[in-house]
Amino acid sequence: MQNGIVTRNLAMQSLLAEIESIRNSDCPVLLVGETGTGKEILADYIHSTSRRSNKRLVKVSLSSLPPTLFESEIFGHMKGSYTGADYAHQGFFDAANNATLYLNEIDDFPLYSK
């Protein structure tokens, strides 16, 4: 057992050892795997065992975000910055400042909207 994750699988033990070496770094981490393989569990684990564990973990499901709202939701906007912007909106990056931002299903999000 390693901080809440129980495994006898050698590949998983190796992955947990890698996480130990990066969990307190300031670099982005990319978790890749098929649907249902536990990427969100690992993101929770990384956050909960990091020095940021006392701060927010902001989870964003990009597949539920309309491409037309992507920029506004991710980066935020000021009141009046575009038609219909009746109030200032804090983006996910600002909400996760000095904390942890988990972007889920990033591969399902279109790179360009038309």
30-46: pLDDT as tens digits: 888 888 888 999 999 99
Upper half-sphere CA count for residue 82 (Cβ side, 13 Å): 7
**What mean pLDDT value characterizes the chain?**
85
∠ CA(60), CA(76), CA(87), 5° rounding?
120
34 touches 76 (CB < 8 A)? no
Q: Which residues of the chain have pLDDT under 70?
A: 1-3, 110-114
pLDDT digit string (tens) for 95-104? 998 889 998 8
